[in-house]
Structure 1
């Protein structure tokens, strides 16, 4: 069974950060390298960073599969768009329809928030994620190159799915 729990307590953000550290190292080191992963985990995926994002209006949800924390997601309403900031599932739980359930959950939130679309950024070399998003109805609508400091950039595609 797949459940989503909104994170509001610092302990929950600590649990998310521990999971993020594992997921990011296994998935992103081959794509962006160890130095950039270390930098991004510390500055964007740590308990402190995610809690500040929560205070700034991002909604974090912990994803549970059979009562085990297996992933997390973060969303924020921006005008009539729901921005999907983060969606990650542990490697050993991929292929169990958790990502699909999470996207259905996100679409429900978008409808509740009266959004007309969902947007996200995905690393242009993250081919498996791009394929998954396309299979779920997202389209590439642009490119985003973002300077994130310390000499690093995020080289992403901007993707969008219209909500009918």
Structure 2
């Protein structure tokens, strides 16, 4: 299986990404955080408008395609000051999980971090999202902290902060 990773740039790609996000979030996160919080997260962080704003603020979004089908996505945010890159998002359609798409996106993120001279890749992951927590550990990430954050509307993020050191190229 060949995974093609394409940077999101056009308004059409942003809309396509938001549609994919809606599909993935409704499938995966509703049992973990409930439909009301999923709807809130999609509206405020994964809508076409929110994604476009993140792009305008310097975030980089990438779509993963397999056989021409959108199958996953990631968002990367480089912080030159700390020399760390945030893996802000990494999601794969449930029907495609376990097929190497997440690993391809993660490998791409690590390559991008190296290219930009970053020393580490870090992320936040819901502490109750056990499968991804275990997967990130297998990929070399370690839990370095915890984060409980009020995100508005009575919702909270209850996350682990995980980090992986990046070798110099």
Secondary structure in 2 aligned to 1:95?
Answer: coil
Query: Of 140, 160, 164, which residue of structure 1 is paired with 2:163?
Result: 160
User: How many matched pairs?
Assistant: 164
**1-structure distance, mates of 2:65, 2:151:** 30
Q: What does 1:1-164 align with in structure 2 at a 5 Å threshold?
A: 1-78=2-79, 79=81, 80-164=83-167
**2-structure distance, mates of 1:8, 1:100:** 23
**2-structure distance, mates of 1:146, 1:11:** 32
**1-structure distance, mates of 2:99, 2:73:** 15
**1-structure distance, mates of 2:137, 2:152:** 30
Q: By how many angstroms is 1:101 displaced? A: 1.1
**2-structure distance, mates of 1:114, 1:135:** 24
Q: By how many angstroms is 1:102 displaced? A: 1.0
**1-structure distance, mates of 2:49, 2:77:** 18
**2-structure distance, mates of 1:35, 1:96:** 30
Gaps (5+ residues) in structure 1?
none
**1-structure distance, mates of 2:140, 2:73:** 21
Superposition TM-score, scaled by structure 2 size: 0.95
Secondary structure in 1 aligned to 2:29?
Answer: helix
Secondary structure in 1 aligned to 2:118?
Answer: coil
Q: By how many angstroms is 1:139 displaced? A: 0.2
Q: By how many angstroms is 1:63 displaced? A: 0.6
Superposition TM-score, scaled by structure 1 size: 0.98
Secondary structure in 2 aligned to 1:111?
Answer: helix
**1-structure distance, mates of 2:165, 2:88:** 17
